[in-house]
Amino acid sequence: MPNAQLPTPGQMGVTFADGIGTIRVYSETATSIQLCILDQDDPRTVTHTVALNKGDNGIWQGTHSALIPGAKYALRADGPDGPKDSFNNTLFLIDPYARGVVRESAREYHCVVLDGEFDWQGVSKPNIPLDELVIYEVHARGLTRGNKDLPDDLRGTYAALGHESTIAHLKKIGVNAVELLPIQILISEPHLVKNGLINYWGYNTINFFMPHHRYATAAAIQTGPEAIVAELKTAIRELHRNGIEVIMDVVYNHTAEGGSGGLTYSYRGLDNANYYRQDENGHYQDTTGCGNSLNFGNPHVIHLVLESLRYWTNEMQIDGYRFDLATTLARNEINHFDPNHELLRAINDDSTFAETKMIVEPWDVGLGGWQTGNFPDRFSEWNDRYRDSVRRFWLSDIASARTSGNHWNGVAELATRLAGSRDIVDGPSGPIGGVNFITAHDGFCLKDLVSYNVKHNNANGESNRDGANNNSSFNHGHEGDGATEEIRIVRRKAARNLLGTLMFSTGIPMLTAGDERGKTQNGNNNAYCQDNVMTWLNWDLTRQQQDLEDTFAYLARLRRENPVLRAKTFGDFNSATEDHDLLKWYNSAGQIMSEDDWHNQECRTIARYNQRDYADGSKNALLLVIHGAETSAQVTLPEPDGISSFELLWNSAHESPDQSSATFTPGSAIELSGTSMLLLRAN
Task: Decide if 380 contacts 508 (C-beta within 8 A).
Answer: yes
307/40 Cα distance (integer angstroms)? 28
CATH 2.60.40.1180: which residues of the chain? 563-682
Sign of CA dihedral 145, 147, 148, 150: negative
CATH 3.20.20.80: which residues of the chain? 130-403+428-556
Comparing CA positions, the residue from 252, 249, 230, 233 lying closest to residue 241 is 233
Q: What is the pLDDT of residues 125-147, one digit of tens each?
A: 999 999 999 999 999 999 999 99
Eight-class DSSP state of 392: I
Query: Which pLDDT score, from 0 to 100, does residue 106 have?
Result: 82
Phi, psi torsion values for 54, nearest 5 degrees = -85, 125
503/180 Cα distance (integer angstroms)? 20
73/34 Cα distance (integer angstroms)? 10
User: Could you say which of 2.60.40.1180, 2.30.110.10, 3.40.47.40, 3.40.50.1820 is the CATH number of the domain covering 563-682?
Assistant: 2.60.40.1180
Task: Decide if 526 contacts 442 (C-beta within 8 A).
Answer: yes
Q: What is the pLDDT of residues 612-645, one digit of tens each?
A: 999 999 999 999 999 999 999 999 999 999 999 9
27/271 Cα distance (integer angstroms)? 5
Q: Are strands 177-180 and 135-138 parallel, antiparallel or unpaired?
A: parallel
* Residues with catalytic function: 324, 361
CATH of domain 13-112: 2.60.40.10
668/637 Cα distance (integer angstroms)? 6
Q: Are strands 508-512 and 135-138 parallel, antiparallel or unpaired?
A: parallel
Degrees (nearest 5) of the Cα angle 107, 113, 117?
A: 130
List of the chain residues with pLDDT < 70: 1-4
In 463-525, which ranges are continuous DSSP H helix? 485-504
Q: In angstroms, what CA-CA distances link 18 with 10, 25, 65, 240?
A: 16, 20, 10, 35
Model pTM greater than 0.75?
yes
Q: Are strands 13-17 and 20-26 parallel, antiparallel or unpaired?
A: antiparallel
Comparing CA positions, the residue from 642, 546, 640 lying closest to residue 592 is 640
Query: Which pLDDT score, from 0 to 100, does residue 261 have?
Result: 87
Phi, psi torsion values for 540, nearest 5 degrees = -100, 100
422/420 Cα distance (integer angstroms)? 6
Phi, psi torsion values for 676, nearest 5 degrees = -150, 170
Going across the sheet that includes 46-51, the strands are 46-51, 32-38, 72-78, 109-112, 100-103
Q: Are strands 605-613 and 582-586 parallel, antiparallel or unpaired?
A: antiparallel
Residues 6+ apart with CB under 8 A from 329: 252, 253, 296, 305, 323, 341, 343, 344
CATH number 3.20.20.80 given to 130-403+428-556: yes
Q: How long, in residues, is the chain?
A: 683
- Cβ count within 10 A of residue 669: 12
Eight-class DSSP state of 593: P
